[in-house]
Structure 1
């Protein structure tokens, strides 16, 4: 397949560079790292030497269902292992940060504390009261868009942290295209943690840059500096190569990732971005000789391009089809590198959330309910109108156009708060695009669901991502296929974040050499991944939300 001429050239430049053993650096540890109960790890004789966890950002189960017959490389290999096509990010807050916080902690956001990408803290010590999930908002001069990356908001340990606590010689590595993906999968104590900041792969201030990261940055910079011709459209993608008008003279659906020299924004929303991330992961595995030490190591890889492609172009055009074809080949090249190391490795691939296509294309496909949200749904707009009616001049409501949290001003008197709450609930419930409005008291009173994850109510989904110290005063859910982007002419055209299965349902794929393949269609959860991996190395993980999945005969997890 010729779709990867430039991207695989970059990957090859990194993963074939001379590898040299490097001592593990000092592990980073946040002062807010949660305590980990000391447990005894008793690895079985067939324990893998390296665990590889891949999250493909916005890779919904719908995307797998639609494209799996055409995969021939990396995805095809994984589909020969243990396939769970109905994995669920079970919570309502289907965003990047909450989703990544579930994958390697074994806990839902109600325990991880990561309720959204951003939340409102009106007591935050700065003018900007929006708090980013992976920042330290106490840093002077910071804002939710200009922040210092931190793990302080993650309330629970990751699998890598638990492995290191039980066996300090374990090496924990995390690489991603987004800081929040790297932090939420790596955790508080890591040996290497790197993310793309828009210009280069970076880490926490003061950390030494390994030679492989320097090589990766040089190669990626050189790639971005070159113009990229249009990528080949695989034969199975041509039926989706149709222009969809979305306002003014803007269309999507026929992009082939032709890129001007120096265009970093387009690079990020292209297959080349994932190739650079995966190549860096491969280089770290080689240079650090992961999986060759006396105990099991773990690396998490956050492939972020699919999310940027989905937001920029939607999920059902030529762009997404080309992206997944390229990612299939990139993963195949990655696994080939791992094979050549001779290390016994175990892979799991999943996603932080799914995604919904742009409403303009959905309408053409026979979904008349698909539409863009009314700007009147925005809390600032709603709050201003309510304030005019009640004679209150301060800002009343905070948050974004909701598929989730709305906060009431803490400056209100008890009487004002009661009046504003009643008026807000009544107005949102009267909006034709709103499906449900829940108060924090209703959510807090809801028991954690024990029924099949596919059948959870709005309140049960909301409860799974509710944190009493961070969640909003109200949760407002839009109706299915209502996209909370009022105008797509100048920016993103599609998104996620709803409590519906197109955003919640993601694949979970396990693979290891010698594993007996099978497919289990019942609903499982991403919180089941950590305890399942832990079982393969004999590590108890008490107190998590997830359960160990039976991976069958051969080299599956010995669930007990």
Structure 2
């Protein structure tokens, strides 16, 4: 396989990633690590981890020698990017973090656009949910980085991601450096001065985008996955190899090169800031977004995803080599914000004939129109959906709200693509579950995503294997966001040099990551949280004590 020319010429020198694996493992350190590295791979499902783990030879291979939890859970129903990232370093479900979805409806928002993006400040004049000012204001709870700063104000927190919401939700409210990709460059909050690392990586990335990219070589493992899948009109997916025209920034983002840029910037900041080298424990957060963009654009089972995951494995290897050269004792955890589901057209060819796309009848527009006609109402009656949060609009008279909700439940329930519909009263009467997440009822999953100020009047669960994309021709072909385990299950991998590895196939949750890391670095958890500490010592000792 031809590897990408790494942007990491600045930070990730290409030395053999597995050279250290052949040497005898040193004894596990008795002291806490000085640097915690948290990596989220957007849309890296437990299914993808299982499918590709035998092919990993570099970064993932190193992580698999540590504590491996192949059945991690984003336990909630709203399996989207923003809620998922909000769980990883807070120890809380979205019901506590307040991040119930990527966006929600707030009819009291101070602008005409009542859709609120999870990582924006909607009070900024002239903004809307597509043109916004990035903010952490909607995250209701502190993060691990904030716990660390409370225990030691000289601890530093650096958060870098391909998406603003990933950087913000994991970084939290008190960060030393926070950078995300805005489509052209890595940017931050207004007024923040770019350090040399950002300036140099931005220059390297600009130069990289300006160059044409030939098609990547197809490894033998990927060749059976390279097959053209028609998805409507003249659009096909499944056999792409990331050839890119010069200057095509969108194609750069939807390619393995994108994660290389994120990791290069993270490594360069860690090196320049001497993270973990100044007598205090620091936190480096990295959000790799390309897997998500590729999963949406091409699905999860074609040549595109195969090339992405094998490339990401090499990129992670270069990242760890760069961190090794600093001599810092560092602890890594890698997980994902949610899983993902392949496009139904390919599923139907792969022994899953019941796979389907939503029909127009289940869309909120259709349900709303039917309700308006039946009840003699004008204007939109419902907004949101088709799955997830659905809101009754203020145009519905108070005297008719109960009728609208009752009839909406009947219409949704009667639709053959809908599994269940829950009202506010049902969800609020449901306690938060504390049982293994695979045993949770749909109502318990909805409860873990519910915030009374932000959630919908109804929560709609589509049936399994129903993809909520009506027409894939003009946009994404596959997605996530369902109540089902293919979107909830993600791997959780812990690694530190010298640790004795083990694999635990039983379920754990992403809310368990923050308290586990806090125990390793001896930082108290200053608030009540949903998660629990995981003992990642393979022997009789307990890393939670």
Given the two structures, how large is their TM-score scaled by the length of structure 1? Answer: 0.93
Which residue, out of 225, 229, 232, partners 2:210? 225
What are the residue-to-residue correspondences of 1:161-172 with 2, within 5 Å? Answer: 161-172=146-157
Q: State how far apart, in whole Å, the 2-side matches of 1:452 and 1:283 are.
A: 40
Q: Which residue of 1 aligns with 2:2?
A: 3
Q: Which residue of 1 aligns with 2:106?
A: 121
Give how far 1:390 is off: 1.0
Q: Is the CA contact (8 Å cut-off) linking 2:433 and 2:440 kept in structure 1?
A: yes
Q: Is the CA contact (8 Å cut-off) linking 2:386 and 2:460 kept in structure 1?
A: no
Give how far 1:15 is off: 4.4
Q: Which residue of 2 aligns with 1:189?
A: 174
Q: Which residue of 2 aligns with 1:364?
A: 349
Matched, 1:407 2:399: no
Q: Which residue of 2 aligns with 1:177?
A: 162
Q: Is the CA contact (8 Å cut-off) linking 2:11 and 2:322 kept in structure 1?
A: no
What is the DSSP-based 3-state SS (H/G/I as helix, E as strand, rest coil) of the residue aligned with 1:246?
strand
Which residue, out of 424, 430, 439, partners 1:446? 430
Q: Deviations over 1:107-151 (max 9, x none)?
A: 000000000000000111101000000000000111000000000
Q: State how far apart, in whole Å, the 2-side matches of 1:203 and 1:376 are.
A: 42
What are the residue-to-residue correspondences of 1:532-551 with 2, within 5 Å? Answer: 532-541=516-525, 542-551=527-536
What is the DSSP-based 3-state SS (H/G/I as helix, E as strand, rest coil) of the residue aligned with 2:140?
coil
Which residue, out of 495, 498, 503, partners 1:519? 503
Q: Is the CA contact (8 Å cut-off) linking 2:502 and 2:538 kept in structure 1?
A: no
Q: Is the CA contact (8 Å cut-off) linking 1:46 and 1:555 kept in structure 2?
A: no
Q: State how far apart, in whole Å, the 2-side matches of 1:491 and 1:364 are.
A: 22
Further displaced range: 113-122 or 411-420: 411-420
Which residue, out of 204, 212, 235, partners 2:220? 235
Q: State how far apart, in whole Å, the 1-side matches of 2:344 and 2:332 are.
A: 35
Q: Is the CA contact (8 Å cut-off) linking 2:390 and 2:459 kept in structure 1?
A: yes
Which residue, out of 461, 466, 471, partners 1:477? 461
Matched, 1:426 2:423: no
Q: Is the CA contact (8 Å cut-off) linking 2:41 and 2:334 kept in structure 1?
A: yes
Q: State how far apart, in whole Å, the 2-side matches of 1:363 and 1:288 are.
A: 50
Q: Deviations over 1:260-312 (max 9, x none)?
A: 01111111110000000000000000110101011100011000000000000
Q: Deviations over 1:142-186 (max 9, x none)?
A: 100000000000000000011001100000000000000000000
CA-atom RMSD in angstroms: 1.4
Q: Which residue of 1 aligns with 2:24?
A: none
Q: Which residue of 2 aligns with 1:467?
A: 451
Question: Quick one: structure 1 residues 180 and 557, their matched pair in 2 at CA, closer, same or farther if it must change by over 3 Å?
Answer: farther
Count of matched residue pairs: 530
Q: Which residue of 2 aligns with 1:498?
A: 482
Which residue, out of 466, 473, 480, partners 1:489? 473
Give how far 1:376 is off: 2.5
Give how far 1:204 is off: 0.1
Q: State how far apart, in whole Å, the 1-side matches of 2:323 and 2:539 are.
A: 20
Gaps of 5+ in 2: 15-28
Matched, 1:95 2:95: no
Give how far 1:556 is off: 8.5
Q: Deviations over 1:462-499 (max 9, x none)?
A: 00010000000001111111000011111100000001
Q: Is the CA contact (8 Å cut-off) linking 2:238 and 2:304 kept in structure 1?
A: yes
Q: Which residue of 1 aligns with 2:441?
A: 457
Question: Quick one: structure 1 residues 557 and 118, their matched pair in 2 at CA, closer, same or farther if it must change by over 3 Å?
Answer: farther
Matched, 1:254 2:239: yes
Q: State how far apart, in whole Å, the 1-side matches of 2:119 and 2:245 are.
A: 32
Give how far 1:248 is off: 1.4
Q: Is the CA contact (8 Å cut-off) linking 2:385 and 2:460 kept in structure 1?
A: no
Q: Is the CA contact (8 Å cut-off) linking 1:514 and 1:555 kept in structure 2?
A: no
Further displaced range: 171-180 or 361-370: 361-370
Q: Which residue of 2 aligns with 1:82?
A: 67
Q: Which residue of 1 aligns with 2:9?
A: 12
Which residue, out of 282, 287, 297, partners 1:302? 287
Q: Deviations over 1:40-65 (max 9, x none)?
A: xxxx9510000000000000000000
Q: State how far apart, in whole Å, the 1-side matches of 2:183 and 2:543 are.
A: 42
Give how far 1:14 is off: 4.1
Q: State how far apart, in whole Å, the 2-side matches of 1:15 and 1:215 are.
A: 13
Q: Is the CA contact (8 Å cut-off) linking 1:512 and 1:555 kept in structure 2?
A: no
Q: State how far apart, in whole Å, the 2-side matches of 1:555 and 1:328 are.
A: 32
Q: State how far apart, in whole Å, the 2-side matches of 1:472 and 1:514 are.
A: 48
Q: Is the CA contact (8 Å cut-off) linking 2:158 and 2:175 kept in structure 1?
A: yes
Give how far 1:365 is off: 0.6
Matched, 1:316 2:301: yes
What is the DSSP-based 3-state SS (H/G/I as helix, E as strand, rest coil) of the residue aligned with 1:101?
helix
Matched, 1:529 2:513: yes
Q: Is the CA contact (8 Å cut-off) linking 1:53 and 1:348 kept in structure 2?
A: yes
Further displaced range: 216-225 or 389-398: 389-398
Q: State how far apart, in whole Å, the 1-side matches of 2:134 and 2:188 are.
A: 9
Q: State how far apart, in whole Å, the 2-side matches of 1:95 and 1:557 are.
A: 33
Q: Which residue of 2 aligns with 1:335?
A: 320
Q: Which residue of 1 aligns with 2:26?
A: none
Give how far 1:554 is off: 7.4
Q: Which residue of 2 aligns with 1:26?
A: none
Q: Is the CA contact (8 Å cut-off) linking 2:361 and 2:367 kept in structure 1?
A: yes
